[in-house]
Amino acid sequence: MSTSLRIAVLGASGYTGSELVRLLMRHPNAKIVALSAESKAGKTMAEVFPQFAPFDLPRLVKIEEIDLDTVDVVFCALPHATTQLVLKDVLTRKPSLKVIDLSADFRLADPDAYAKWYGHEHQALELQKEAVYGLTEIHRAAIAKARLVANPGCFTTTSLLPVIPLLAERAIEADPIVVDAKTGMSGAGRAAKEAMLFSEVAEGIHAYGVASHRHTAELDQEYSLAAGRSVIATFTPHLTPMIRGIYATIYLRTAEGFGPARLHEILAARYAAEPFVTVLPLGQVPQSRHVKGSNHVQIGIVPDRIAGRAIVLSTLDNLVKGASGQAIQNMNVVTGLPETTGVDQIALFP
């Protein structure tokens, strides 16, 4: 394997950025050639993330300082809204780039949905049309042909994988789907905010963004696609005092003739050949700690004691399969590398 993809990471001073660097440094076919950060430009990665102190890495620069001629693949871990302007410019300067975008900017195919959930018109509609939603296990074929991959949100990856095959098989009712999700704090990023201080977060739990979290729009889009009809999900995220991990508890109504055992069969069959998705034996419950640091998803199905209902539980590491790991998985698909290359780490437990 002599391929060596030359990589630029835009937004390397945030958590998804550092996670990309952690994984790409050990990817046998990748070479990091540029790292950008705005307010921290000029610093070394070791100053911004001391875990990189033992290693040689490019110094952080501003985006405009990057020589795109030396770059094959761009990972973009910038804030939403900024992203669409940056990527329009970058892809204009070098149209042959492959881009994996970790922001929300290109996830919604419908410009109206984008405008509604994000509060402004999209500024790069052509690119939005072109972008492929990067839920690898579901959209692999389209991703393989894409130039711009819109990497899914962490909550959505967790909540889509166990439900889409059931909708596709019409094994569950499309309404109601209730997703009660719990996330670790790293999903909130590295910006200094009072509500994210250790003393405000440890030793407590709370819901936030109830009925208004933007990842809901992705759930609607992908659930609807799978169901072949419009689906409106109930989605409630909670902040949990842990760094990494997303856990979704999903309450479903089974369709006529489909019990929990049948649902389990469908999911087990659907993901049997997938290296990153494990469907646990019926009745077994996953734990977020058992996927921490890895690109794995674990899914459990438990019969409710009420006939006609099932509970599906799904968990992943929000920074890996929920962000940077799936991004690299998508790069592998886009560039024709074996899909697990560089993202086959085993979960760190305890």
Residues 255-284 that bind its own copies (CB under 8 A): 275-276, 278, 280
Instruction: Tell me how far apart the 2 most distant CA atoms of the chain are, in Å.
Output: 62
Residue 278: Cβ within 10 Å count: 16
Q: How far is the CB of 300 from its own copies (least distance, A)?
A: 8
Q: How far is the CB of 224 from its own copies (least distance, A)?
A: 14
Task: Verify binding: residue 79, its own copies, rule CB under 8 A.
Answer: no
- Residues 6, 79, 251, 265: which binds its own copies (CB under 8 A)? 251
- Residues 144, 242, 255, 268: which binds its own copies (CB under 8 A)? 242
Give the pair of three-digit tokens for residue 150: 């819109």
Count of chain residues binding its own copies (CB under 8 A): 88
CA within 13 Å, CB half, 91: 21
Mask: binding to its own copies, 23-62, rule CB under 8 A, as x and -? --xx----------------------xxxxxxx-------
**CA distances for 213 relative to 24, 60, 155, 304, angstroms:** 30, 32, 10, 27
Look up tokens 């992908």; give the residue: 222
Q: How far is the CB of 96 from its own copies (least distance, A)?
A: 30
Q: How far is the CB of 15 from its own copies (least distance, A)?
A: 6
Task: Verify binding: residue 118, its own copies, rule CB under 8 A.
Answer: no
Task: Verify binding: residue 196, its own copies, rule CB under 8 A.
Answer: yes
For residue 314, list its beta bridge partners.
Answer: 248, 299
Interhelix angle 136-144/325-335, rounded to 10 degrees, is: 30
Residue 57: Cβ within 10 Å count: 15
Interaction residues for its own copies, span 151-180 (CB under 8 A): 176, 178, 180
Task: Verify binding: residue 205, its own copies, rule CB under 8 A.
Answer: yes
**Would you say 108 or 131 has its CB closer to its own copies?**
108
Answer for the pair 310, 301: CB distance below 8 angstroms, yes or no: yes
The stretch among 124-132, 157-165, 166-174, 302-310 that binds its own copies (CB under 8 A) is 302-310
**Would you say 68 or 189 has its CB closer to its own copies?**
189
The stretch among 72-80, 125-133, 156-164, 308-316 that binds its own copies (CB under 8 A) is 308-316
Residues with catalytic function? 154
Q: Which candidate, 252, 257, 248, 260, places its Cα nearest to that of 316?
A: 248
**Would you say 137 or 149 has its CB closer to its own copies?**
137
Answer for the pair 127, 87: CB distance below 8 angstroms, yes or no: yes
Answer for the pair 302, 310: CB distance below 8 angstroms, yes or no: yes
